[in-house]
Amino acid sequence: MQNFEQFLLDNLPTSSSIHPTYEDALQNMLIAGGKRFRPALLLGVVKAYNPLLLDSARHAAYAIELLHTYSLIHDDLPAMDDSPLRRGKPTLHVSFDEVTAILVGDALNTYSFEVLSNAPFSDATRVKLIRELASNGGLNGMVLGQAIDCYFENKPLKVEDIKILHTNKTAKLIAASMKMGAIIVGREDVARELYDFGIKLGVLFQIQDDILDVTQSSQEAGKLTNNDEDKNSFVTILGLDESMKQANEIADELMTEIFNFDESLQSELSSLLSKYINRHK
């Protein structure tokens, strides 16, 4: 991901505003690091099928990271999780103020689509990518999941409903990352398969986050842990042992599915996926 990191640094959002801290706030969480998991998935799919398109694909990977970062900024707000730490750094409403955090989240959200609209693809491909990011990151995807999460705080859900919550809040953007990679390289024949794989991967990702929330310190996780007692997390509802069991089962299923990918895709994604698929162990 070194090339993506440099691309990100070279393309940080800027502003000519007279506001004294706006530009710093825009860049703060982007340069704080993070897993860059979603961009890595997109770029891995592109590299597997057409590495000549990697430079162009970094624009789409960047758009996903912008949208994901906006979601983290808003997720940490006092009205939501009220978290003081993200990516090992103070959250924006702590470093600056709540108004700045809200507005920077709004700015990164819309900027992600500006970046995607200017990406060096055909008009038809850009429209498909914009639609995919919007539908999975917006009102019937990530935002819906966040709304469900906040509304049902202190109201325990059934396991089936928790899966609906986190399919929207976490899994759909991960799945979209893989599908967008397929769209870029013109392999829409495998786009649905990759999307479905990404949904299952995203649910595992959330179970793992819930496990790590109770097994890691805030310093280890880079964000506030043991903060989900009132939330509908898998650990809160199922307990740690059952959550570990479910995570192991999904991880095993995903590892089997990876070996059903064609050879080029398997080669590009296996090391990345095996690292994250087993991160709860």
Residue 50 in this model has a pLDDT that exceeds 80: yes
Regarding pTM above 0.85, the answer is yes
Residue 110 in this model has a pLDDT that exceeds 80: yes
Residue 108 in this model has a pLDDT that exceeds 80: yes
Go through the domains of the chain in sequence order and give each one's CATH number.
2-277 (1.10.600.10)
Per-residue pLDDT tens for 231-272? 899 999 999 999 999 999 999 999 999 999 999 999 999 988
pLDDT of residue 220: 67
Report the C-alpha gap between 188 and 107 in whole angstroms.
Answer: 31
pLDDT of residue 216: 84
Q: What is the mean pLDDT of the chain?
A: 94
The stretch 221-230 carries a mean pLDDT of 70
Per-residue pLDDT tens for 133-159? 999 999 999 999 999 999 999 899 999
Which segment of 92-96, 144-148, 274-278 scores lowest on mean pLDDT? Answer: 274-278
Per-residue pLDDT tens for 2-38? 799 999 999 999 998 999 999 999 999 999 989 999 9
The stretch 171-176 carries a mean pLDDT of 98
The stretch 160-182 carries a mean pLDDT of 97
Residue 185 in this model has a pLDDT that exceeds 90: yes
Per-residue pLDDT tens for 54-66? 999 999 999 999 9
Report the C-alpha gap between 149 and 166 in whole angstroms.
Answer: 8
* Cα angle for residues 162, 165, 166 (degrees, 5° grid): 90
pLDDT of residue 230: 76
